Structure formats: C-alpha cells, structure tokens
C-alpha cells in the first residue's frame, strides 16, 4: 500500500581526504500518500543522494526517514533496501537484456504464484500500453517502450513509494514530453506516492504535485 514520506533534519556526507564532505544538512521533506514530489536542482545539489538515502543505499549521518509509520533510517536504525518496500525507476532503464518484457515486469514477483504473477504482469503491461509486447526483448523495443516496461516492473510489487531518478533524460525531446505526461497519469491513477529527481523545471512542473528546489550545499 502506498504511504506518506517524512524526512526530518537529514544530514548526508562522506569521508574525504580533507575531512568530512557534507552533501546535505538539515534537509526536510514531507510527501503525502498518493502525491508526486519532485527534487529539482542542478548537478551536485544532493538530489540523487536523497533518493539513495530513502532507498537504503546511502548512510544517514543524522536525521530520520519515515515511510508511513515505519522508520527506515534514524538513530540506531537502518533498514536494508529489500525491507523498505521502495521501488526505483532508473535513468538507464535497467532492464535485463536476456529477459522478455513479461519476464522483466514479473522479476520482482518471483515469490508469487504463477497465476498471481501472470495476472499482475498482464495488468501492468496493459496499463503502460504495451499489452502486445510481452514477448519482446529490450533490444526489440524503442527507448520510450523500454521506459514504460521499466515503470511496469517498478510498480509490479506495489511499492509504498516509487523513486524516479532522471528517468526521461535519455529520450528525445518529443518522446520525453509524451512519456512525462503518460507516467504522471499512470502514477496518479494508481494513487502512487512518488519522488522524481530532475534538473528540468518543465518536467517537474508537469509531473509533480509539489516541487522541492535544491541548491548545492554551501559551507559556512
């Protein structure tokens, strides 16, 4: 079930030769359940680091991340990625080249029964408009089609939160504009809580219910 996100006083950083390099300090974000938020800003401002922290790939030095009532990261707590119920949609699609579209979408449902898996995969292929492409492999699909398969795969396990890391940046302008609208409509129809990372203001305004403008951390 989709859930709200609450990030409070998040501090991210990593060890560097000249001491601790701070990426974010005191970052707050609240996203109601079913809303789409966008992290908008230039390269180096920490957008992807926030996504990685939510997903469990980035250690949190201070602050907390709650998904619904569950504490994902905080004092004494760091749930591993596989326990967070968070889905991800990547810039590079991340499809398995040796698997068909059906197999890619169903990859996260391996522990479901065959009947349940087939039902869910067919539903999602229809939702993304690729019901007739299930037998095709990634190299047989256009960039836009691959991105829709990647979206279906991310939605298949019904994540509480979906993270989208610059998912349209590899597409041509016309396809990018069309996919932005299509993905927004699919997420809203599903009532899916989501966070989009982008440096494109128009993309953020089209997709998101709320926009968080980020700038690179400045040392005092």
Question: CA dihedral defined by 110, 116, 119, 120, rounded to 10 degrees?
Answer: -50
Mean pLDDT in residue range 10-27: 81
Per-residue pLDDT band at 19 (split at 50, 70, 90): low
pLDDT digits (tens, 9 = 90+) for 108-129: 898 889 999 999 999 999 988 8
Q: What does the alpha-carbon distance between residue 141 and residue 127 come to, in Å, rounded to a whole number?
A: 17
Per-residue pLDDT band at 218 (split at 50, 70, 90): low
| pLDDT score for 209 | 96
| pLDDT score for 54 | 97
Q: What does the alpha-carbon distance between residue 99 and residue 95 come to, in Å, rounded to a whole number?
A: 8
- Token representation of residue 52: 């990685």
Longest pairwise C-alpha distance within the chain: 58
Q: Say how far residue 87 (Cα) sits from the centre of its chain.
A: 6
How does DSSP classify residue 97? T
What value, to the nearest 5°, has the Cα angle with vertex 135 and ends 94 and 82?
35
- Token representation of residue 103: 């197999």
Per-residue pLDDT band at 44 (split at 50, 70, 90): confident
Q: What does the alpha-carbon distance between residue 220 and residue 119 come to, in Å, rounded to a whole number?
A: 55
- Name, in order, each residue with C-beta under 8 angstroms of 202's C-beta and a sequence gap of 6 or more: none
- Which among 136, 155, 154 is positioned nearest to 145, based on CA atoms? 136
């Amino acid at each position: 079930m989709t859930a709200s996100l609450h990030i409070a006083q998040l501090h991210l950083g990593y060890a560097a030769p000249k001491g601790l390099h701070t990426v974010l300090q005191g970052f707050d974000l609240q996203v109601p359940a079913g809303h789409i938020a966008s992290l908008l800003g230039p390269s180096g401002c920490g957008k992807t680091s926030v996504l990685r922290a939510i997903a469990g790939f980035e250690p949190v030095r201070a602050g907390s991340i709650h998904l619904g009532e569950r504490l994902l990261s905080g004092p004494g707590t760091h749930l591993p990625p596989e326990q967070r119920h968070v889905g991800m949609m990547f810039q590079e699609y991340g499809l398995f080249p040796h698997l068909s579209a059906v197999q890619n979408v169903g990859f996260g449902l391996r522990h479901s029964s065959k009947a349940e898996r087939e039902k869910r995969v067919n539903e999602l292929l229809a939702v993304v408009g690729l019901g007739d492409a299930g037998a095709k492999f990634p190299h047989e699909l256009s960039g836009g089609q691959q991105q829709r398969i990647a979206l279906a795969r991310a939605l298949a396990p019904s994540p509480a939160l979906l993270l989208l890391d610059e998912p349209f940046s590899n597409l041509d302008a016309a396809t990018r504009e069309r996919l932005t609208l299509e993905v927004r409509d699919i997420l809203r129809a599903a009532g899916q809580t989501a966070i989009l990372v982008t440096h494109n203001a128009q993309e953020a305004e089209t997709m998101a219910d709320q926009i968080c403008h980020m700038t690179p951390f400045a040392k005092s």
